[in-house]
Amino acid sequence: MDNTPPFEIPLDDQTKQHIASALWMRVFEPENIPDDVAAQLRDSKNSTQSFGDRMGAFLDWLLAHPQSHNQSYERRYSTLKRLCNELTPHQAYVVVNKFLGLNASQGFDRLPEKADLQFPRDHLPQLKTQVGWHFFVGSCWDVEGREFGVEYMLFRAPLLNPVLATQFNLTDIENQVIELQLGISEAGDRHYQADPVVIAGTTGLVTCGLTPFHYVVGRNRIESSNSASFFPLHLAAWGVEKSGPEAKELGIDLTFTSGKEYLLQGANGCMPCVDGMGTLYYSIPNMVIAPKSSLKIGDETITLARGTFWFDHQWGYLAGNPQSSVLRAANNTKQPEPPGWDWFMAQFNGDRQLTMFAPAHERIYGILLSDWAAVTQRLAGQCCRKVHGRAKKPYKYGRHTYGVSMAEKRVLAKPGAISQDKYVAPESMGVFVQRDRS
């Protein structure tokens, strides 16, 4: 009889709960953890001491690699070192994403000057870049005609740059932390959002590959049925919404039979690519749900009759320093921008889709016009709505700073390119324009 303790390395309660959720369990029950997962969890790589040691080494590496024309992080890194002797995976994930600053983009694979997206290769998470996500959102209807909205995302970030990860004998997967987000809304009713699940690659619960394509976190998955095609594509996810009066289980079991041609965002997939920084980004609009796919809200399993979704895969660097000291110096000539962005997607009748986003900026405004006939009047007049922040007095139309991606004709308006005489939109399609006062 094997008397080996189920977990020789102590795990904190939050990490246990995240592992349980990834395995579709309400609570962490050691006796129900699969043997192969239990063996992986016993590895010392999962201890809070090991996460702390690795973070300390990363901070030492960053202290040894300051960059010119960049603020000094010496005090910050030295302070963090004193506080990071032991870390949970979730704590390490927060430190990496929120506290390390622009200097921490060093040591990762740089983005190319021009995109060269290839499929199925680029469906995979690109593990040697600083961030990436696979994001699905869409609307679906059950057999009774009820409408639901669904959002499912796997968001990825490495805890070390690849140089250091190799020194700690971590594989690219083991170096990752994956955050899972799952939300379901019923039209006319409330929105349900499962508690986020944060899983370290050292747990053995994260896998990905191409034969066929699959990206798996515990029992949650994105996977193709065969190696020859991305479709049919299967999504499965589970979580627990705890913000209401009582906890509710949420689940999706969706199969997509087809999708529209790939939409390469930005400049053929660069959004943007400047001196190794930026992101690579493509979308698949109009993904069609197979009948008998299903949702779960509480005790109810909902059989779906139809639906369409939008898929985004984006990776690279949301913030960081260029390699060029000249570009780093140029960054110091402007005020720091607030983080984040607002993103919007619409799927119209007639197989037309639109996506747009506005970076968080106090001076950026936007208009969404559903009737092209009104565009010429409004462009010559005044901006009517602010996208981000509190409303301000309208002012005359100014310089365009961004554009719109339109799936119907695979058109991306370049900075400064949208105007009455340079851009013609289909009738019934909206136009999104951002601008600032400068």
Comparison of pLDDT for 357 and 407, the residue scoring more? 357
* Residue boundaries of the structural domains of the chain: 13-105, 121-323, 356-435
User: What is the per-residue pLDDT for 166?
Assistant: 97
pLDDT of 273 strictly over 80 = yes
**Span of 163-172, 341-350, 379-388 with lowest mean pLDDT:** 379-388
Paired tokens of 345 = 């997607």
**Span of 77-86, 221-230, 330-339 with lowest mean pLDDT:** 330-339
User: What is the per-residue pLDDT for 429?
Assistant: 31
Are 49 and 57 spatial neighbours (Cβ–Cβ below 8 Å)?
Answer: no
- If pLDDT is split at 50, 70 and 90, which confidence band does 416 have? very low
CA–CA separation, 348 vs 261, rounded Å?
Answer: 16
Tell me, what amino acid is at 308?
A: T
pLDDT of 194 strictly over 70 = yes
The per-residue pLDDT of the chain, averaged, comes to 82
Q: Which long-range contacts (CB under 8 A, 24 or more apart) does 334-343 make?
A: 337/361, 338/362, 342/387, 342/388
Tell me, what amino acid is at 428?
A: S
User: What is the per-residue pLDDT for 369?
Assistant: 33
Which pTM was predicted? Answer: 0.82
Can you name the CATH fold of 121-323? AttH-like fold (2.40.370)
User: Do β-strands 191-193 and 197-200 pair in parallel, antiparallel, or remain unpaired?
Assistant: unpaired
CA–CA separation, 248 vs 187, rounded Å?
Answer: 18
User: What is the per-residue pLDDT for 193?
Assistant: 96
Q: Average pLDDT, stretch 184-209?
A: 96
CA–CA separation, 237 vs 22, rounded Å?
Answer: 9
Are 431 and 404 spatial neighbours (Cβ–Cβ below 8 Å)?
Answer: yes
